[in-house]
Amino acid sequence: MKVALITRIKEIIEQKEIDKFSKRLSVFQENKHILKIYIISDQLSISKLPDLENEKIEFIPCDDQIDPTSPTSLNLAIKKLSKNKIDAFIVASRQFRIETNNLDELITKCENDKKLLVAGYKFKIEFNDQKPNDEPRAIKLNNELQSYYQDKTLIAYQVPWNTCAIWNYELFKEYIKKFDGITKNKSGRELCVRIDNVCRPTAHKGMEDGLAIAKATKKDSNIKFKLFESKLIWEIEKSKIFNHRLKLARKEIVMRNFMKEKGYSEKTLLNGLLNSKNL
């Protein structure tokens, strides 16, 4: 199976960040199935990573009008996939830890099930450069994430996220084509989410992954998706705890709102979920 990796970086300028990114990228570079790596990035980060680019790795620069971490920036790389005869593409954040066995599991699952549109992992949270006295805050934030996973009424937490997921490119081309621009929140809409019993404003954006799955399952009821129960470590910066709480809290509202606007069905979506009963 021929696989491409798409990853996104922004404002990666410190040497320790560069070293960590390079190390995590090496897991993908060493995999025999990964033929191409696309790094969507701002110009500043590219200038700090000149030694990374080679025949396998291609930088896709974003101008000031495009945020490289936006929901639809992925489309810049997806447009390039067909010329390399790619069978599947992995979207991965630089903030999580992945091992060789996890990568092999993703690729094998995609290769063996021709109706599997996408497969991905759940996550558990740790802090970047976590110290012993950071542990209580990290545990609290991780518990918040796990409580969302445990609530089976939350559809946004039953679909793979582009934090780490593999997409069947042929099915993606046929049923999705590109990630929906609605998820960029061009209109500047905001919504309120409850954090510690206080209503907090946050952007009405994201969930391009879940919305794409809903679109595909509407077109073909045989389309499947898989969320592995095993969890990868998702490292976040301590200074961004509140931002992550906002993002986690808004996912379900955003997912349901966008599905309603697009006319996608929750029942049809969840019929595509592969679990222990329909493996």
Domain ranges of the chain: 3-274
pLDDT for 218 = 96
- 156 in Cβ contact with 251 (< 8 Å): yes
pLDDT for 169 = 98
- 154 in Cβ contact with 252 (< 8 Å): yes
- 33 in Cβ contact with 2 (< 8 Å): yes
Instruction: State which amino acid sits at residue 246.
Output: L
What average pLDDT does this structure show over 238-248? 90
48 pLDDT higher than 80:
no
d(C-alpha 114, C-alpha 94), whole Å: 28
What average pLDDT does this structure show over 99-112? 95
278 pLDDT higher than 50:
no
Model's pTM, two decimal places?
0.93
Asked if the 3-274 domain carries CATH number 3.90.550.10, the reply is: yes
165 pLDDT higher than 80:
yes
- 127 in Cβ contact with 239 (< 8 Å): no
pLDDT for 20 = 86
What average pLDDT does this structure show over 149-165? 97
Pick the more confident residue, 54 or 152: 152
d(C-alpha 170, C-alpha 176), whole Å: 10
Query: What φ, ψ does residue 254 adopt, rounded to 5°?
Result: -60, -45
What average pLDDT does this structure show over 65-74? 88
Q: Which residues contact 122 (CB under 8 A, 6 or more apart)?
A: 149, 227, 228, 229, 230, 231, 232
Cα R_g (the chain), whole angstroms: 18
Q: What mean pLDDT value characterizes the chain?
A: 91
Pick the more confident residue, 157 or 70: 157
